[in-house]
Amino acid sequence: MKFQLAFFALLQLVNSCFFAQEFERVISDRASDCDGAMTIIQPGSFELEFTGKTGLYFDLSAYSSLEGTPENNSLWAEFVAPFDGELSLNAFCDEELIEIIVFAPSSGDACTDIYKGILEIQRVIKFNLRDTVGLSKNPKRGFLQSLHLNKDEQVYIYFNVHSPKRKKLQLGINYESDSIEEVALSLKKTRDFHYDASLNTISILLQDAETGLPVEGQVYLNDGKKLNAMYRGTDFIFDIYRDTKLEISVDVQGYFFYDRTESIKKGQDYELIIWLEPISKGKQIEIPGIEFIQGTSILSPATEDVLRRLRDFLLLNSSVQIEIQGHVHSTGEGSLMGKKMSYDRAKRVMNYLIDSGIDKDRMTAVGYGNEFMKYPEPKFANEEQANRRVEIKIL
């Protein structure tokens, strides 16, 4: 009897340790782990790059049906359905064997469910051929049936190749709906901040320059007083409290960074349509939201989301090489201390990207000190902050 009690006590201890490890896992930012999955915001053609490394965890270990599936060199991607529709994809890698696992659509914490082994596997693609494979409405050799998603459902996709090298993966994501009007309506995410009926308003609309469809992005507004924040959506409506100059910055993955200053007069309505163009070579783009603790090269905690967007852009466009440019706010012409600080800040951003799986050979860091301050004689704290910035130049 004592032996049985001791055995069950030991069993409980083992179980408690197992479940503690299961639920107290460390979140990984690596693109080769589920938690670090790159987010594909819109359908399109992408050139991904495998990192040449495994993740911190073997994400699939809880699935007995996947026992023996290796994790040699993996990538994770997440796609969120903008409307009800059909997801298809095509993938090509110059590799004898590519494995693709598509998990069931989810509206919750999909990665936790995958680690526990409770999120259903919908598709497993494994072909010994150097050809394009994927999902299609019309399945054929190398292709399985496409996947239907409801609006706002997320789907996680696992890619793996056996070579430990930084292989290129050509990925096409297609998402279709029966109605273009439905697409436009479903894509709209209106943020209405019109609270006072006695005031006029300014509307800001983000649209794709080629299709005319709404584009979801992050809009940064600054009028030096009430409007001084970041908003996310496609359409925005704000009250006009006074005459002002409104600074507008827009950051959307896969599009050019947009910057504009608009003179606003109280007593009339405004509608600004911002047409966003795809990113191309030679453009220099400011990355808003990358902030440092004043006087140091230490990134502020609020910067991580912005860096992950930059990381996702580089993962989804693996042929792009960039120059990371650091700028500071300081007095005195050509300050050596300012140059060192700006270089340290650019290097800190570069190191974050390297740690997240980006090839260091695709990036260089340069510090320009205070040579190119936006506001040489700032009058407000936000103007000083604008001088402390990071820009990237697409090479």
CATH of the domain at 132: 2.60.120.380
Do 289 and 272 lie in one domain? The reply is no
Q: Does residue 75 belong to any structural domain of this protein?
A: yes
Q: Which domain holds residue 202?
A: 188-276
3-state SS of 16-28? HHHHHHHHCCCCC
The total number of structural domains in the chain stands at 3
Within a domain: 15: no
Q: Are residues 379 and 292 in the same domain?
A: yes
Q: What is the pLDDT along the chain (395 residues), one digit of tens a residue?
A: 444 444 444 444 444 444 434 445 668 888 899 999 999 988 888 888 888 887 888 889 899 888 877 788 899 999 998 888 899 999 988 876 889 999 999 888 999 999 999 999 999 998 766 788 999 998 888 899 999 998 889 999 999 988 888 888 889 999 987 666 666 777 788 999 889 889 999 999 999 877 788 889 889 888 877 777 888 899 999 999 889 889 888 878 777 667 778 899 988 999 999 988 777 667 777 776 787 877 788 888 878 877 887 887 788 778 888 999 988 877 656 677 888 888 999 999 999 999 999 999 999 999 888 777 777 777 777 777 777 778 888 87
User: Where do the H-state alpha helices sit in the chain?
Assistant: 2-23, 110-116, 180-187, 304-316, 336-355, 381-387
Radius of gyration of the chain (CA): 24
State how far the Cα of 124 lies from the Cα of 98, in Å rounded to an integer. 11
Residues 6+ apart with CB under 8 A from 134: 88, 89, 90, 91, 100, 125, 142, 143, 144, 172
What's the whole-model pTM score? 0.54
CATH number, domain of 329, equals 3.30.1330.60
Q: Sort strands 284-286 and 121-127 into parallel, antiparallel or unpaired.
A: unpaired
CATH number at residue 218: 2.60.40.2190
Whether 301 is in a domain gets the answer yes
